[in-house]
């Protein structure tokens, strides 16, 4: 067997994982993906190393687990709500005595390094310390993992800007869970200069029907995604994904009021392939449906 590209290859290549249902969902374009295995049967599993950290959130089941990370053998106990981080580039064996419901978030080493380098950590220092050897509980880590899983399914269309920011926050939350402290980015004190605000906002308006990534938007003004996200919020009062969402709602309202385009076309023009996504956004932010909004304005 060739070396896995990611921990997801365990599920795709190892027949032991196919005994129960499982699903893989990519989360954005930076190599992050999520796996849900709601009926991971009791037994023994062994895997080759892969170039990603695997954050596991136990959603159901649990009990005693035997882990071997590299050459280190561990005996731990876990219950629903516990998290554990498997190191990158490390062989892993796991034996558990009960069926478990697992949600895995796979974070490529390069993605973790890029985030931590923005906070003064050298690439060679990347580690999550005790999170490899001891189950932990962290509400923010659990919430972000579940939110990324939901977003990857397209159930709540906040898009690539939200995913990029959520992944960044998740990595920082894992570092915080270790008890370590990061150096704040040197450039984070002020907002964006007016030309950078204008360029980013003009780009979002011009690409309202596209799923713009945080990396692409930050690259327009030659900043790191983390610095751009913080400074953009300072300058506009909203994080990039919320600003984009507000413009989409604004654009849809104008099209519904000023044109006779079908709702499905209105949705497509503001970035939603499925008109049901636009309907959910309208209900959440305006308390009405696109059709009702149009009827009230046309009468």
pLDDT band, residue 215 (cuts 50/70/90): confident
44 and 173 fall within a common domain = yes
Q: Where are the alpha helices (DSSP H) in 56-138?
A: 109-117
On the question of pLDDT at 156 being above 90, the answer is no
Residue 187 is assigned to a structural domain of this protein: no
Q: Give the Cβ contact number of residue 259 at 10 Å.
A: 12
Residue 211 is assigned to a structural domain of this protein: yes
Residue 123 neighbours by CB under 8 Å, 6+ apart: 113, 116, 117
54 and 90 fall within a common domain = yes
208 and 257 fall within a common domain = no
124 and 95 fall within a common domain = yes
Across 22-51, average pLDDT:
80
Residue 245 is assigned to a structural domain of this protein: no
225 and 290 fall within a common domain = no
Q: Give percent of the chain with pLDDT exceeding 70.
A: 84
74 and 204 fall within a common domain = no
Residue 186 is assigned to a structural domain of this protein: no
49 and 145 fall within a common domain = yes
Across 73-88, average pLDDT:
86
Q: How far apart are CA 107 and CA 123, in angstroms?
A: 15
104 and 168 fall within a common domain = yes
DSSP state of 6: S
Alpha carbon 167 to chain centroid distance? 4
pLDDT band, residue 265 (cuts 50/70/90): very high
Q: How far apart are CA 76 and CA 96, in angstroms?
A: 10
How many structural domains compose the chain?
3
pLDDT at 141: 94
101 and 20 fall within a common domain = yes
On the question of pLDDT at 13 being above 70, the answer is no
Which tens digit of pLDDT belongs to each residue from 191-212? 888 888 899 999 988 888 888 8
Residue 242 is assigned to a structural domain of this protein: no
Q: Which of 132, 151, 178 is the last residue of a domain?
A: 178
Across 56-73, average pLDDT:
83
| CATH at 282 | 1.10.10.60
pLDDT band, residue 29 (cuts 50/70/90): low
On the question of pLDDT at 138 being above 90, the answer is yes
114 and 200 fall within a common domain = no
On the question of pLDDT at 164 being above 60, the answer is yes
- Per the prediction, the chain carries an average pLDDT of 81
Which tens digit of pLDDT belongs to each residue from 107-134? 888 888 878 877 666 655 667 877 888 8
Q: Which of 147, 178, 209 is the last residue of a domain?
A: 178
Contact call for residues 264 and 254 (beta carbons, < 8 A): no
pLDDT band, residue 170 (cuts 50/70/90): very high
pLDDT at 144: 93
Residue 183 is assigned to a structural domain of this protein: no
Residue 115 is assigned to a structural domain of this protein: yes
Q: How far apart are CA 5 and CA 94, in angstroms?
A: 20
Task: Please state the three-class secondary structure of 9-72 as a single string.
Answer: HHHHHCHHHHHCCCEEEECCCCCCEEEEEEEECCEEEEECCCCEEEEEEEEECCEEEEEEECCE
Q: Comparing 225 with 144, which gets the higher pLDDT? A: 144
Which tens digit of pLDDT belongs to each residue from 248-262? 899 999 999 989 899
| CATH at 118 | 2.60.120.10
Domain span including residue 152 = 8-178
Residue 185 is assigned to a structural domain of this protein: no
pLDDT at 187: 42
Residue whose entry in the numeric block shows the structure tokens 């909203």: 238
pLDDT at 1: 41
pLDDT at 263: 92
294 and 149 fall within a common domain = no
Q: Where are the alpha helices (DSSP H) in the chain?
A: 8-13, 109-117, 139-152, 159-178, 194-206, 214-220, 225-236, 240-258, 263-269, 275-286, 290-298
37 and 87 fall within a common domain = yes
């Amino acid at each position: 067997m060739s070396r896995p590209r990611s921990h997801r290859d365990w599920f795709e290549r190892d027949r032991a994982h196919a005994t129960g249902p499982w699903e893989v969902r990519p989360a954005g374009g930076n190599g992050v993906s999520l796996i849900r295995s709601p009926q991971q049967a009791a037994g023994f599993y062994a895997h080759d190393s892969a170039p990603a950290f695997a954050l596991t959130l136990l959603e159901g089941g649990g009990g005693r687990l035997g882990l071997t990370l590299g050459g280190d053998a561990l005996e731990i106990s876990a219950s629903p709500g516990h998290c554990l981080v498997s190191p990158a580039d490390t062989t892993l064996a796991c034996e558990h005595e009960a069926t478990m419901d697992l949600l895995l978030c796979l974070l490529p080493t390069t993605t973790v390094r890029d985030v931590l380098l923005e906070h003064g950590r050298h690439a060679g220092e990347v580690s999550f310390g005790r999170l490899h050897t001891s189950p932990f509980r962290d509400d923010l880590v659990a919430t972000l993992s579940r939110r990324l899983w939901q977003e990857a399914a397209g159930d709540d269309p906040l898009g690539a800007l939200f995913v990029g920011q959520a992944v960044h926050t998740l990595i920082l939350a894992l570092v915080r869970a270790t008890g370590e402290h990061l150096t704040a980015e040197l450039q984070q004190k002020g907002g964006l200069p007016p030309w950078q605000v204008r360029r980013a906002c003009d780009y979002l308006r011009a690409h309202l029907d596209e799923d713009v990534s945080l990396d692409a938007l930050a690259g327009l003004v030659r900043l790191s995604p983390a610095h751009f996200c913080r400074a953009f919020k300072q300058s506009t009062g909203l994080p990039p994904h919320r600003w984009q969402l507000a413009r989409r709602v604004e654009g849809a309202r104008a099209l519904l009021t000023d044109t006779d385009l079908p709702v499905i076309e209105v949705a497509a023009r503001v970035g939603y392939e499925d008109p049901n996504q636009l309907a959910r956004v309208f209900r959440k932010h305006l308390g009405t449906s696109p059709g009702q909004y149009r009827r009230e304005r046309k009468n």
